[in-house]
Structures are given as structure tokens and as C-alpha cells.
Chains A and B, each alone.
Chain A
Amino acid sequence: MSPDTLHYLLQGVQSITWQSVVMIAIGLLLIWLAVTKEYEPLLLLPIGAGAVLANLPLSPLVGEHGMLQTLYDMGVGNELFPLLIFIGIGAMTDFGPLLENPKMVLLGAAGQFGIFLTLMLALLLGFTQPQAASIGIIGAIDGPTSIYVSNQLAPELLAPITVAAYSYMSLVPIIMPPIMRALTSAKERAIVMPYTSREISQRTRILFPVVVTLVVGTLVPFATPLIGMLMLGNLMRESKVVERLTGASSNELANVVTLFLGLAIGSTMVGPSFLNLSTGLILVLGLIAFCLDTVMGVLFGKLMNVFSGGRFNPLIGAAGISAFPMAARVVQREAQRENFDNFLLMHAMGANAAGQVASVVAGGVLLALMGAS
């Protein structure tokens, strides 16, 4: 047996680097979070698996024609996957609570302030403008939007931004309540807002996605792909004539694409490009963006409380940050903690759905700003 044979047989072991070991550990950590903590398991598990598979020594999955690379080229590099997921999200989202209470749009807008504040912070820390915008978009607290925007502006930061966005989204129930409690008094949290049972006609429900697409698409052309797909899914849902398509979009398509997207994103988490200072900064900035969004949302809720003469529960503002529908559930839980007879869920869902749309618009605005520069 020549030394060469031994070399070939032990090639894998010899190619282990400390970076790949760390990345495999991070991948396993994500899998662990998904399995035992159930933090966004649908995404964190494939992302973790992708990271492990891509970082195994000499992994054939990431080279040219490797499966993970193929998935990346197929749908992440060209933005296809996040858009397909948006069809599914649209098909799953009920904009009824928003239509019942249109003033919630204001909260959806307020929940996006964190994006721009974080953007400025990132600029101060020395990130380039497109990079800073991509980091800020973590503050949209919306996975597909983050992927879409960061891939266009700063593809090199895609992996950390995606991981940050989804990790923090899964931490909504942990991150938000302390902020919400700190900013509101027990009396404010206990404000009861009964459900307003206004019937929304099917015509309105069908017109809503059409009108939003036309208006947003005209005003913010860069948001057209995202808003168009979101509203297409919603139009299919509300039209009630293509239930097979609605079902396929919200189940099969969304599930398959989520798997592909997770694996592809995970495969970009390769040691040398992931393990650096900017990843750490992105994780910190993402958290800041998240907190700022919540703060601004709650503060705006307090403002609405003042204007409504004390009848508006400021907790609902926190649901304006997007992170649909977890944020609305957190609001409901917090309100009920104070007064178990208080059901804010429908109001919060309205603000939450508004936040979803506002995130997309904010993403489009960022793309427009950066595209212009």
C-alpha cells in the first residue's frame, strides 16, 4: 500500500478545518433549537442541516453541480424561492381583521421604524450602504423579505441575515414581552377593546389584494414582486374559486420551497465567509432592529391611545412589527395576563397583517433607495 492510497482514504479527515468544525457545531445548534425548543423548526432545521452538510470536509453537495449549490442557483440567487413562499403566505393570511379596522395600517407602518434606525446604526459601524440596508431589513421581521432584499443588495451577507431574521422571529415570545411591559403601565395593558364585528363583504376582500397591488406596485415598483405574489395568494384565497390552487400554494408549494430555501441558505453558511466579525455585528444589529421595532410600535400605540381618549390598548402596537402571526399572539397573551377577559387578538391580527404589508413596502423602499444611489 503506497502512502498515496492512505492519503486518498484519509482525505476527508485531513481536510477538516477549525472553521468547518465550528460551522458544523452551529448547524447542530440550529437543529437542536428546532427540535427541542421548536424555534421556527420548519426553517431552522433545514438551515442547520444545510450548514452541516455543506461544511463536512470536501462536501460534494456544495461544489459545482452539488445538490445544495443547485438549489441555491435554482431559487435563492435569482430570488425565486422567497417569492414562491410569499404566494403561500398570501394564501394563508386573512386580511379581514385589518379590513375591519383600517386604522391599524398606522401601527404596521410604525413597526417598521426599526429598519431605518438600524440602517443608520449599521452605517455608523462601517458597513457599506447596501450592506447596511440589508441588515436593517432584519427589522422587517419577515423572513422572505429579508432574503429577497439582502440577496439583491448584499448577497455576501445573506446567510447571517437570514439566520438572524429567522432566529429572532422565533424568539418573538421571549424578546417582546419585557419591552412591552416596560413601556406600558398595568392600567394601559388592561384596557379592554371589544371585538368590532363588522362584516366584510367578499367584494371588499377580493378588491383589497387587487387595489393594494396596483397602488403599491405603482408607488414602489421595487416592491412589486413581493407584494404582487403576496396579494396573488390572497386573491386566490378570497376568490374562493381556485381552492385547489390556494391549498397547493399554502401547503405543498410553501412546504417544498421552505425545504429548498432552508437547505440552500444553510449551504451558504461556510466557515470562512460566516465566521467573521460582521456576522457577530449582524446578529447584534438584528436584535437591536427587532427591539426598536417593538419600541416604536408600542410607543405609537400609546399615541393612538392618547388620540382615542384612552380606549386604545397600546400593546397592540407591538403587533405592527410583522412576524405574522406570532406577534399578535404575544399581544393577546400579554393583554390576557393583565385581564383574562380581554381579547385583543383580532385587533392585534389587524395590526399584524398591516405590518406584513408594510414590511414588504419598506423592503421595496430600501431597494429603491439603494438602486437609485
Chain B
Amino acid sequence: MRRYTITVNDTTRVIDVEAVGADVFRVQLDGRLIDVTLDDHRDLAHSAVTPAVTPRPLGAGGSATAGPGADRGATAVGREPARAAATPAPGEPPRATGAPAASGSPAPGGGGGRDKMTAPMPGVILTVDVAVGASVRRGDTLMVLEAMKMKNELKAPKDGVVAEIYVTAGHQVKFGETLVRFES
């Protein structure tokens, strides 16, 4: 856990930041707990924390989803490098043909940072059961991740249309790596 004391004008605030995962933080501010998810930095996923990243509140107490984060000036700074660097990763599946165009345009998404599915733990992708352009419902199995010799079904976190798939069967993935991006 890290504690920051930040003074804005004359108001001093103490903020406790606890890293829960590579892109998930628990922030305590004035006794309020806020869950923070780092913004989508597709190609920076391998670096656990990038300084340019601005946390985006998922909502007080983790209840509501984030508002239109792009409106915040600070957030926009963090977003730009990611967009610019969003070239297809090496080893990208050929089926992601619609990808370059899609990745060039920002995907604001009302659901905040939930317009993607990331790897919940390190492992190997066994099968990819969905194709680009397919519309999926929350709970549909998108792919199977083998971790610790166990097959884990990764299911769609939300309803949506698959915009990009970043992995193929046999792909070794790290924690937090983006697997699928959804169109908003």
C-alpha cells in the first residue's frame, strides 16, 4: 500500500492506494473506498504500471460504472499514447481483419474500462470460440484459458460485438493482457 499526501490549493488530502492487481487498485480517500481500474493500454499491458496512466474511478464503493472518462482532461493525456501505439500485436490472428480500422478509432464506451476482456491470470489460450464481428451476450464463453493445467472458460463480461481478438489458440498470455475488445 502507498500513501500519498496531496495538497491542492489549501486542502490537504491523504490518499491510500493499494494495488490489488496489475490494473486494479483500491483507493481510500476520506474513509471512502474506491475501486480504480487502470485505463486500457493495450500494448503496454506487459508493463504492470505505466506512469502516464490516470486512474479512472469505477464509482464510489465500486458500485456504479465510470462516467465518460474521456471528459476528464487528465484522463485524455493518459489515453493518447495508448491509442497511438495501438498497432496490431505480433502474432495477431488473421481473423482479426477488421482490427486496424477499429483500433485506430477511440472506443469510448459507456461501460468505461469494460470494453475489453483481459486475462484474469497467466496461462495459455487453448481455444478461441468466437470470431470478430460476432455479437455476444454477457456470460457467453469466448475462449478457454489453461492455467495451472486447468481449463478455464473466459466469458463475456458484457453484451456487445467483438471488435478485435488479440490472441489465438496456443498463445501464452500474461495477467492483464487484453484478449478481446468489444465495440461499444
- A and B together in one complex: yes
Instruction: Enumerate chain A interface residues (CB-CB to B < 8 A).
Output: 94, 97, 194-197, 325, 328-329, 332, 336, 340-341, 343, 345-346, 349
The number of chain B residues with a CB under 8 A from chain A is: 21
Q: Known: A341-B157, A345-B121. Is A197-B48 also a contact (CB below 8 A)? A: yes
Cβ of B150 to closest chain A Cβ, rounded Å: 5
Q: Known: A325-B148, A341-B157, A345-B148. Is A197-B176 also a contact (CB below 8 A)? A: yes
**Cross-chain contact A346 with B121 (CB below 8 angstroms):** yes
Taking a contact as CB atoms closer than 8 A, the residue among B22, B147, B149, B155 that contacts A346 in the complex is: B147
Chain B residues with Cβ under 8 A from A341's Cβ? 120, 155, 157
Chain B residues with Cβ under 8 A from A345's Cβ? 121, 147-148, 150, 152
Q: Known: A345-B150, A346-B147. Is A197-B175 also a contact (CB below 8 A)? A: yes
Q: Whose C-beta in chain B lies nearest to the C-beta of A193?
A: B20
Chain B residues with Cβ under 8 A from A329's Cβ? 150
Find residues 99-154 in chain B having any chain A CB closer than 8 Å to their own CB: 120-122, 139, 147-150, 152-153
Q: Whose C-beta in chain B lies nearest to the C-beta of A329?
A: B150
Of all A-B residue pairs in the complex, the 3 with the closest CB atoms, nearest first, are A194-B21, A343-B120, A197-B175
Taking a contact as CB atoms closer than 8 A, the residue among A195, A328, A349 that contacts B120 in the complex is: A195
Instruction: Enumerate chain B interface residues (CB-CB to A < 8 A).
Output: 19-22, 24, 48, 120-122, 139, 147-150, 152-153, 155, 157, 174-176
**Cross-chain contact A196 with B148 (CB below 8 angstroms):** no
**Cross-chain contact B21 with A197 (CB below 8 angstroms):** yes
Chain B residues with Cβ under 8 A from A97's Cβ? 148
Taking a contact as CB atoms closer than 8 A, the residue among B20, B148, B152, B153 that contacts A194 in the complex is: B20
**Cross-chain contact A195 with B155 (CB below 8 angstroms):** no
Cβ of B114 to closest chain A Cβ, rounded Å: 10
**Cross-chain contact A328 with B148 (CB below 8 angstroms):** yes
Assembly CA distance A341 to B152 (angstroms): 11
Max count, chain B CB within 10 A of own CB: residue among A197, A325, A349? A197
Chain B residues with Cβ under 8 A from A325's Cβ? 148-150
**Cross-chain contact A195 with B148 (CB below 8 angstroms):** no
**Cross-chain contact B176 with A343 (CB below 8 angstroms):** no
**Cross-chain contact B175 with A195 (CB below 8 angstroms):** yes
Q: Whose C-beta in chain A lies nearest to the C-beta of B62?
A: A192
Chain A residues with Cβ under 8 A from B122's Cβ? 195, 197
**Cross-chain contact A332 with B21 (CB below 8 angstroms):** no
Cβ of B137 to closest chain A Cβ, rounded Å: 12
Assembly CA distance A197 to B122 (angstroms): 9
**Cross-chain contact B152 with A343 (CB below 8 angstroms):** yes
Cβ of A98 to closest chain B Cβ, rounded Å: 12
Chain B residues with Cβ under 8 A from A94's Cβ? 148
Assembly CA distance A97 to B19 (angstroms): 17
Chain A residues with Cβ under 8 A from B139's Cβ? 340
Q: Known: A194-B24, A197-B48. Is A332-B149 also a contact (CB below 8 A)? A: no
Chain A residues with Cβ under 8 A from B152's Cβ? 332, 336, 343, 345
Q: Whose C-beta in chain A lies nearest to the C-beta of B174?
A: A197
Chain A residues with Cβ under 8 A from B147's Cβ? 345-346
Q: Whose C-beta in chain B lies nearest to the C-beta of A326?
A: B150
A-B contact pairs, 18 of them (CB 8 A): A94-B148, A194-B24, A194-B120, A195-B21, A195-B22, A195-B122, A196-B20, A197-B48, A197-B174, A325-B149, A329-B150, A340-B139, A340-B153, A340-B155, A341-B155, A343-B120, A345-B147, A346-B121
Chain A residues with Cβ under 8 A from B48's Cβ? 197
Cβ of B2 to closest chain A Cβ, rounded Å: 15
Assembly CA distance A340 to B137 (angstroms): 13
Assembly CA distance A2 to B152 (angstroms): 70
Q: Whose C-beta in chain B lies nearest to the C-beta of A199?
A: B48
Assembly CA distance A203 to B147 (angstroms): 23
